Each structure stands twice: as structure tokens, then as C-alpha cells.
């Protein structure tokens, strides 16, 4: 039995499709939105539409940005000779929060997973290899410690070895099966500092 009118139900349904939002959270959000002044709701909706239309991938590292090159790649103070490879932009954000990493990134937008039909061609590996033709002194592989993350790390290591560029892997301290975005800054810093060559 529906307690709400079709428009309220439609709003709750759309909000519940967001990751990590269950029906109860979607309901709370819907009521909050309905209680907001109309101008604020229009600003929120406009901001979402604007972001969707104008945010795309950085042409160098594939981080999300609304410019051609993201702020990290544009920053001349960063060490552009050290590239950390991460699975997604949330992992990049997790490392940036530590304030300890001074290199640049390469976002794969996924991990190799034969079970899900995701092979090396479905993630940004060709683009990584193109970047390695430049002046690079180290590649840090910071994929998750899941089966897919480890598979991806080993694949990348084998691809890069013939180039002679040192490849390191973030150290333990990151629990097996843990997603980087959910790990605290101290653990991530220790994992970065204790990385080892593959």
C-alpha cells in the first residue's frame, strides 16, 4: 500500500537508486528536499545537471575534472615522474587526503575481472603505457587488495617491467578485500611509505 502520492514515490525511488542509499534514507532525503525553499532545490538540480554536462576525464590522468587537465596534473610542484595507478577517482581522493603523496596519478576506472567480463582493454591501460613513454622514474600500483586489484597489479607489473621503469606496490596495512576509499589516512600513508618493488 502506498502512503505517498506518485510524485513523492517517484522522488524516493530515484533517490534510492544512488549508491549506499536505502529506502529509508531516500525517504528522509525526499522529505528534506520537499521542505527546502524552491530556489535551493532549483540550485541543487541545476548544479547536478551542470556537473553532468561539464565534468569529464582529465586528458592526462583520467581523474574527473571540468577543465581539460585536472588541478593535480596542472600543478608544477607535483613530481610528474612518479605515477600512482589507482582503480577509481575515490581512491585518488583517499590518497590526496593523506597530504603525503607528491606525485601524479593514473586512474584506471576499473580492475581486471574475468568473472565480470572486464579485461585489460576495458580499463585505461593503453593510456598508462602511452604516459610511460615520457620521463617516468617510478610507477606505484595502488589498486585495492581484492582479487581483482591484485590481478590488475600483477598484469600492470608485467606490462611495465620491459620498460625498465621501477614498479612498486603499496605495502600491507591495507586489509585484503578492503576498498581504499574506506581506509583512514594513517593506514594509507603507511601503505604508501612501505611500498615494495614488484
152: left (phi over 0), alpha (psi -120 to 50) or beta: alpha
pLDDT digits (tens, 9 = 90+) for 11-39: 999 999 999 999 999 999 999 999 999 99
pLDDT digits (tens, 9 = 90+) for 141-166: 999 878 888 889 999 999 999 999 99
Which of 4-8, 145-149, 173-177 bottoms out in mean pLDDT, i.e. has the lowest? 173-177
- Predicted pLDDT of residue 107: 97
Architecture of domain 77-197: 3-Layer(aba) Sandwich (3.40)
- Predicted pLDDT of residue 49: 96
> Do residues 112 and 152 make contact, with C-beta atoms less than 8 angstroms apart?
yes
For residues 165 and 193, which has the higher predicted lDDT (pLDDT)?
A: 165
For domain 6-54, the CATH superfamily is: RecR Domain 1 (1.10.8.420)
Q: For the residues 177-186, what does the mean pLDDT come to?
A: 68
For residues 145 and 45, which has the higher predicted lDDT (pLDDT)?
A: 45
Question: What CA–CA distance (Å, rounded) separates 140 from 98?
Answer: 16
Residue 1 has pLDDT above 50, yes or no: no
- Predicted pLDDT of residue 41: 95
Which of 95-104, 121-130, 171-180 bottoms out in mean pLDDT, i.e. has the lowest? 171-180
Return the domain boundaries, the chain: 6-54, 77-197
For 88, other C-beta atoms within 10 Å of its C-beta total 21
Residue 174 has pLDDT above 70, yes or no: no
- Predicted pLDDT of residue 186: 61
Which of 18-22, 99-103, 158-162, 171-175 bottoms out in mean pLDDT, i.e. has the lowest? 171-175
Within 8 A by CB and 6+ apart from 80, the residues are: 73, 103, 104, 135
Amino acid at each position: 500500500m502506498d502512503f505517498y502520492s506518485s510524485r513523492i514515490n517517484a522522488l524516493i525511488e530515484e533517490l534510492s537508486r544512488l549508491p549506499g542509499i536505502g529506502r529509508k534514507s531516500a525517504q528522509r532525503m525526499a522529505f528534506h528536499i520537499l521542505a527546502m525553499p524552491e530556489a535551493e532545490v532549483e540550485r541543487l538540480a541545476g548544479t547536478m545537471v551542470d556537473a553532468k554536462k561539464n565534468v569529464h576525464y582529465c586528458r592526462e590522468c583520467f581523474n574527473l575534472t571540468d577543465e581539460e587537465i585536472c588541478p593535480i596534473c596542472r600543478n608544477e610542484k607535483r613530481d610528474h615522474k612518479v605515477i600512482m595507478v589507482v582503480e577509481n577517482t575515490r581512491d585518488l581522493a583517499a590518497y590526496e587526503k593523506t597530504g603525503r603523496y607528491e606525485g601524479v596519478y593514473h586512474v584506471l576506472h576499473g580492475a581486471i575481472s574475468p568473472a565480470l567480463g572486464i579485461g585489460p582493454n576495458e580499463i585505461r591501460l593503453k593510456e598508462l603505457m602511452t604516459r610511460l613513454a615520457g620521463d617516468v622514474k617510478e610507477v606505484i600500483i595502488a589498486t585495492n587488495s581484492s582479487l581483482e586489484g591484485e590481478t590488475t597489479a600483477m598484469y600492470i607489473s608485467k606490462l611495465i617491467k620491459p620498460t625498465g621503469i621501477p614498479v612498486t606496490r603499496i605495502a600491507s596495512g591495507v586489509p585484503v578485500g578492503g576498498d581504499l576509499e574506506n581506509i583512514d589516512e594513517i593506514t594509507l600513508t603507511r601503505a604508501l611509505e612501505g611500498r615494495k618493488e614488484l
